[in-house]
């Protein structure tokens, strides 16, 4: 699986959004094997964080001036939020930039493998809950829906993935939709 994902991401030209009005951010999409099945790690944000309160997301956040690049941002945030150390991350590649609708962030997503089980050190100020979701559940078409929303006179699709009592939507769902389309057939 690792080789095929890396190959697909390397072949695909990444869509970069260059808009000086948007704040740069990055997320790490942690992928791991558990009981022979592939999983993605999500987090539920607390109600005390500044943006996206209570939403399900990937570990990540805004770029700091000290970050050498957006990958460094994703790795720093994953360590700050979840205790995932850079030495334990095997980078597979980068997905297309995705912008948030309501908070003017442009997110660069990085897909990586992490070992499992992992000794997560959750930052409870930022993370309310850690959610491990099997890819098979995300591929189940009955767990996906699309709605059309409007903002400033423009319509756009909004995606939703349901897993147990968790609803994944917004920029996270757009990133997830792109990721699921890129994964090798045997992971579908």
User: Are residues 99 and 17 in contact, defined by beta-carbon separation less than 8 angstroms?
Assistant: yes
Beta strands in 16-143 (DSSP E): 23-34, 37-45, 56-57, 60-62, 90-94, 98-99, 105-113, 127-134
Is the peptide bond preceding residue 123 cis, with omega within 30 degrees of 0? no
Q: What is the mean pLDDT of each run of 10 residues along the chain (188 residues)?
A: 84 84 95 95 89 86 96 98 98 94 90 97 96 95 94 91 96 96 66
CA distance from start to end of the chain = 11
What is the CATH code of the structural domain delimited by 2-135? 3.90.79.10
Look at the chain and count its residues. 188
CA 65 vs CA 14, 46, 70: distances in Å: 23, 25, 11
Q: What is the pTM of this model?
A: 0.92
| Residue labelled with tokens 């994953």 | 78
| Residue labelled with tokens 């050190």 | 121
CA-nearest of 121, 137, 129, 124 to 176 is: 137
């Amino acid at each position: 699986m690792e080789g095929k994902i890396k190959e697909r991401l390397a072949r695909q030209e990444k869509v970069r959004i260059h808009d000086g009005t948007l704040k740069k951010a990055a997320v790490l999409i942690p992928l791991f094997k558990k009981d022979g099945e592939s999983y993605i790690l999500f987090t539920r944000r607390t109600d005390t964080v500044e943006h996206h309160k209570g939403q399900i997301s990937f570990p990540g956040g805004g770029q700091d001036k000290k970050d050498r690049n957006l990958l460094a941002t994703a790795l720093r945030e994953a360590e700050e939020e979840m205790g995932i150390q850079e030495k334990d991350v095997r980078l597979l590649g980068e997905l297309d930039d995705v912008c948030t609708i309501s908070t003017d962030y442009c997110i660069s997503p990085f897909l990586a493998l992490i070992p499992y089980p992992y000794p997560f050190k959750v930052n409870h100020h930022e993370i309310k809950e850690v959610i491990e979701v099997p890819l098979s559940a995300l591929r189940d078409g009955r767990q996906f829906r699309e709605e059309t929303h409007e903002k400033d006179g423009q319509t756009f699709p909004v995606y939703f993935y349901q897993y147990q009592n968790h609803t994944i939507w917004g920029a996270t769902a757009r990133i997830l939709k792109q990721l699921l389309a890129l994964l090798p057939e045997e992971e579908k």
